[in-house]
Amino acid sequence: MADFISRINELSLSRRNFIKASTAAAASLSLVGCGNTLMPASSDQVASQDGQWITAACWHNCGGRCLNKAYVVDGVVLRQKTDDTHMDSPDFPQQRGCARGRSQRKQILGADRLKYPMKRKNWEPGGGNKELRGKDEWVRISWDEALDIVASEIKRVKAKYGNSAIFIPGGSELPRAVSLYGGYTQRWGAVSWGAWPEVYPHITGVSGNGASDGNDRFRLRDSNLIILWGANPAVSSNGNPAYNFLQAKKAGAKFISVDPIYTDTARVLVDEWIPCRPATDTTLILGMAYHLLENDLHDQEFLDKYCVGFDAEHMPEGADPKDNFKDYVLGTYDGIPKTPEWASEICGVEPAAIRRFATEYAGSKPVAIITGGAAARINNGEHLPHALLTLGLMTGNFGIPGAGVSPNMHNRSTYAGPTLVKSGGNGLPKIANPISDMRINNCEMWDAVITGKYTDGEGPKKDINIQMICHGAGSAINQRAGLMRGIEAHRKVEFVMTQNYVLNTDAKYSDLVLPVTTQWERYGGTVAGNREMLILYSQVIEPIYEAKDDIWIAREIGKRLGVDADKIDPLSPEQASFNQVAGTKVMKGDGSGYDPLVTITEADLAELGVEGSPQMGRISYKEFKEKGIYQIPRAPGDKLEFTSFEDFLGNPEENKLGTPSGKFQIHSQELSDHIASFGWTPKAPIPKYEPSIEGYEDGKKDGYPHQLVTIHYPRRSHSILDNVSWLREAFPQEFWLNAEDAMKLGIKDGDIAKITSRHGSVIRPVYVTERIMPGVVALGEGAWYEADENEGVDKAGATNTLNGPIPSGQGHTGHNSCNVKVEKYSKPLEPDYKWPQRVIF
């Protein structure tokens, strides 16, 4: 004891270096602060350092789909990897991830996650000071308060204005609740596919937009020539497509790229680059068609047998014989022969190059023309898909292995054909929107909010009064044309709310933000990509902070609206995921039909606690879950190879196309009538060049000498992941400017440029290059709008600041018909990777 006291005395010496310590005052400390968030541990075991690899969802709409795995120790993700489930080979490639997928820890665990429900400080029922949206401060609130606000605003808006005043531009969960409460106004219109969706079925009789049509990757090895027409799969379809094309090149195919940009894909593959002005490709095609006719290089026999509308002798029933394609090209009736010289003036390709290109195309059968959405992503651009298909038909380049014309894009690029591994549905019953006729088009929605008028087919515009905007999944302000109008619209309505995991542009301009879980925090399920494989992902981590699933939010709001919550959310996540797995089918080896993929035993059912029946398949449930992927074995020459229209070519009588004539319709009155019925712009029954609104000609006329193309960018998937500064640094958001143009403008590489369209202005650092043709400029789409209110510019370079909301044709968006002027900007701009994150730290 004496020893103890003396040691205490020694140890206490150091107390000299404080001035005073008062126990009396210490009592007040205990009153104000005694946290008790550290509880007795559930076990005294120190956490094992052995982790587990879990298949993580990589769910983005990036145009690829890859295997992504997370190494998880005690609930914490320490690193990621990609596909190593089998040896890689050209014939049986792994599904490897890209920089984006490998940045998901930064997406999900960055400090900029939305953590709690937040309310705009100056919000009050009815909106309060609505001008403050996007600028106001935020106040943390409880989930109960947040859900009460949403429900009471829905009730209030419905009572005052009716259900159509509630606009839900995106997300699939909240609509379930609101549909049970009388419905809501929807958004519609193609964005990615350009003008293909309504054109392709009318010409070919095949339903869908054509993105899954063309040649299977093995059949591409049969091509003599592959023309990438406004297609850049190395960026827009990450994963294997560029690699699959490389195998075709190794097998002897020549590659030509028609594109205003010398793309990353071109760098890897192409032998020749034909730069063509945006929105004018149809003139290039018509010039080629003229050359084919002039030199008798077209396949008249094919045209006679398989097509209608090419010439006066082969017109569909009821059509004016003068209205045929051949006479249009020759200028028989309009007096304008569509010569290469005529085309060259518009599209910028030299006449000699047009002739050489046409000759090579006609003489290289089989030739595959493959396009992405870009070339046809132009205002009133229906003529382009129609013309491109017609070019293929003129040379008989259809229905034989290695030939064809198709917008074979997105995650089906190089993977045309029926799905070989097909997920089952989750079994969630649909809930119909009782007012599903209330739809506003992408290019008109913000104007509809502001002006109260919208187009509903031919005839006068109709009235609408939107007073509430609810954003689920998506990024409507940032990713739809007319961003500036979007912000104006958001500052007009009485209530705006956003469900998201980060403060994206929609969330920023809202009154209320609700934090949602990412797919890493959810139970799991299947994600599909190319046709040869299916991924089964699992939950990686617990929901972080106070994030909740979207469906939970819909259920809670539904309860407050007094609707049946069990109708909104009738399935457990376990059951929904199981339904997908149990319903997954795999193509038989001879291509004749499908078998179940997964074997399910009574023991599996019991372990999962789900309803279902045992079945026999190719792999066990456990194997699928552990590997996280099933990829169907393939080899050249197998029975699963595919080329569109092979059966029609083989027997055109037996296998008629689903068009009125049973043949390819170079003349389609139905297409023309159909486009007219949307109520915006006309479309001739044959592929005539109809200059785009804000296309090349309009720009020249109105003093906007440059044409902007908006390209997919490797640093993000549309707008998703643009908040990750790692990716920002790796892939700068640069403005592409041709070197000759730059010299004329007095702009050097790295300078800051101001780019102005009729709709808005952005500033960005300039990438001066010969990789883009003169007169054309480019900016990656998806950057997060960042207003500089004083200068009236968007510092981030969101392309929709420049793209106007111009409804046309089938109601698609024409992102690549946009006129701009460019000038040097005198003020500095800090690189965006150094900007403060909208931390969702």
Partner 1 sequence: MKLKEEIVFLEIRQMIYAFLGSAFLNPPNSSQIQGILEQKLFVQFPLELDQADFLKGLKLLSRWTITNEDSQLEDILSQLQQDYSNLFVGPGHLLAPPWESVYLTDDKLTFGSPTLEVREFFRKHGLEYERINNDPDDHFGLEMEFMSKLIQMERHHLENQNLEDAIRLSNEHLFFLQEHVMKWADRFTQKVAEHAGTDYFQGLALLTRGYLTWDYELLQNRISLSNS
Kindly identify the residues of this chain, within the stretch 4-63, that bind partner 1 according to CB under 8 A.
4-5, 7-15, 17-26, 28-35, 37-47
12 token code pair: 């206490």
Q: Which of 81, 106, 135, 439 binds partner 1 (CB under 8 A)?
A: 106
The one-letter code for the residue type at 284 is L
If the CB atoms of residues 50 and 654 are measured against partner 1, the closer one turns out to be 50
Of 719, 152, 193, the closest CA to residue 486 belongs to: 719
Query: What DSSP assignment string belongs to 370-384?
Result: EE-SGGG-STT-THH
Among 523, 653, 771, 839, binds partner 1 (CB under 8 A): 839
Half-sphere exposure of 51 (CA within 13 A, CB side): 16
Torsion of CA 681, 682, 687, 689, to 10 degrees: -60
| 394: nearest Cα among 326, 338, 323 | 326
Strands 776-780 and 706-711 turn out to be: parallel
Q: Nearest approach, Cβ of 43 to partner 1 (angstroms)?
A: 8
Please choose, out of 293-301, 437-445, 535-543, 816-824, the segment that lies near partner 1 by the rule CB under 8 A. Answer: 535-543
Element (H, E) at 362: helix 351-362
Of 744-803, binders to partner 1 (CB under 8 A) are none
> Which stretch, 205-213, 328-336, 540-548, 731-739, contacts partner 1 (CB under 8 A)?
540-548
Closest distance between partner 1 and the C-beta of residue 39, in Å?
A: 5
Alpha-carbon gap, residue 35 to 56, rounded angstroms: 35
* 20/701 with CB nearer partner 1: 20
Nearer to partner 1, 12 or 592 (CB): 12
Cβ proximity to partner 1: between 53 and 92 the closer is 53
Q: Which of residues 593-632 bind partner 1 (CB under 8 A)?
A: none
2 binds partner 1 (CB under 8 A): no
Q: How far is the CB of 832 from partner 1 (least distance, A)?
A: 13
Pairing verdict, β 819-824 and 706-711: antiparallel
Distances (CA, A) of 783 to 163, 795, 823, 825: 33, 10, 21, 19
Q: 102 or 821: whose CB is closer to partner 1? A: 102
Least distance (Å) between residue 762 CB and partner 1: 21
Element (H, E) at 116: none
Residue 22 vs 592, nearer CB to partner 1: 22
- Rounded distance, CA 550 to CA 691, Å? 43
Q: What are phi and psi of 126, to 5 degrees?
A: 95, -10
Q: How far is the CB of 46 from partner 1 (least distance, A)?
A: 5
Q: How far is C-alpha 394 from the chain's CA centre?
A: 33
82 phi, psi to nearest 5 deg: -120, -160
> Which one of the spans 263-271, 410-418, 538-546, 607-615 is the region binding partner 1 (CB under 8 A)?
538-546
Least Cβ distance, residue 553 to partner 1 (angstroms): 17
Q: Point out which span in 67-75, 89-97, 712-720, 741-749 binds partner 1 (CB under 8 A).
A: 67-75
C-alpha 174: how far from chain center: 21
From CA 489, how far away is CA 469, in angstroms rounded? 10
Work out whether 841 is an interface residue with partner 1 (CB under 8 A).
yes
What lies within 8 Å, CB to CB, of 701 at 6+ separation is none
* Per-position x/- string for 480-519, each x denoting binding to partner 1 as judged by CB under 8 A, each - no binding: -----------------------x---x-----x------
The answer to the question of residue 840 lying near partner 1 (CB under 8 A) is yes
Q: How far is the CB of 534 from partner 1 (least distance, A)?
A: 29
Candidates 54, 56, 77, 284; binder of partner 1 (CB under 8 A) is 77
In three-state secondary structure terms, 271 is: coil
Q: Are strands 598-599 and 594-596 parallel, antiparallel or unpaired?
A: unpaired
Q: Strands of 760-835 (E only): list them.
A: 761-769, 776-780, 787-788, 793-794, 819-824
834 binds partner 1, rule: CB under 8 A: no
- Nearest approach in angstroms of CB 143 to partner 1 is 14
**CB 512 to partner 1: min, Å:** 11
Site for partner 1 in 708-737 (CB under 8 A): 726
Length of the chain in terms of residues written: 841
Q: Which helix (H) or strand (E) holds 78?
A: strand 76-82
Residues of this chain, 641-700, that bind partner 1 according to CB under 8 A: none
**CA dist., res. 181 & res. 186, Å (int):** 15
Q: Cis bond leading into 765, ω under 30°?
A: no
Tokens found for residue 108? 């999900």
**Residue from 463, 542, 595, 647 binding partner 1 (CB under 8 A):** 542
If the CB atoms of residues 39 and 87 are measured against partner 1, the closer one turns out to be 39
Tokens of 104: 């998901």
Interaction residues for partner 1, span 108-147 (CB under 8 A):
109-116, 118, 121, 137-140
Q: In angstroms, what is the minimal distance from the CB of 251 to partner 1?
A: 42
Q: Which residues share a beta bridge with 470?
A: 497
Q: Which is nearer to partner 1, 4 or 746 (CB)?
A: 4
The Cα 328–Cα 341 span in angstroms is 16
Q: Which is nearer to partner 1, 41 or 87 (CB)?
A: 41
Nearer to partner 1, 38 or 87 (CB): 38
3-state secondary structure of 288: helix
Applying CB under 8 A, among 125, 295, 352, 545 the residue interacting with partner 1 is 545
Which CB atom, from 19 or from 87, has the smaller least distance to partner 1? 19
Give the integer Cα–Cα distance in Å for 414 and 241. Answer: 6
Between 14 and 613, whose beta carbon lies closer to partner 1? 14
Measured CA to CA, the distance from residue 786 to residue 190 in angstroms comes to 26
Q: Which is nearer to partner 1, 498 or 644 (CB)?
A: 498
Q: Give how many residues touch partner 1 by CB under 8 A.
A: 78
Q: Does 743 bind partner 1 (CB under 8 A)?
A: no
Q: Which is nearer to partner 1, 236 or 519 (CB)?
A: 519
Task: Using the minimum distance from each CB to partner 1, give the nearer residue, 355 or 508.
Answer: 508
Window 195-224: residues binding partner 1 (CB under 8 A): none
Q: How far apart are the first and last CA of the chain?
A: 53
